[in-house]
Amino acid sequence: MTPAVNSAINAAGRNAVITSLMVGCAFVVCWTPILILLCFLFFGGSPDYGGVIYNFSVSMALINSCVNPFLYAAKYREFQDGVRRLKEKMNQNQPQNQVAAVT
């Protein structure tokens, strides 16, 4: 392989590792509160399903589902290009506003 190909492969590998670490860290940050709460409940704590801590924990777990596309968008040029093409395609499919001539 040529040095340019090796360099591209190494850069892609580094990008994949960094993205995986970012996704993994986001997972840990978002799921840790609810896991701590569940351990507390498992060892005899009384559940307060309407409380602030419970709502925060569940919200953090749900946020994890929403944060991954933003992480990929920040790291992958292909993802950014795909979103850009999708947006352009959606704009092309929308009917143009035409002003009707009034006589």
What's the pLDDT tens digit per position in 7-49? Answer: 767 777 888 888 889 999 999 999 999 999 999 989 998 888 8
Q: With contact defined as beta carbons under 8 Å apart, do 99 and 69 qualify?
A: no
Look-up of token digits 């340019």: 4
The overall pTM is greater than 0.75: no
Q: How buried is 76 (Cβ within 10 angstroms: 0-12 exposed, 13-18 middle, 19+ buried)?
A: middle
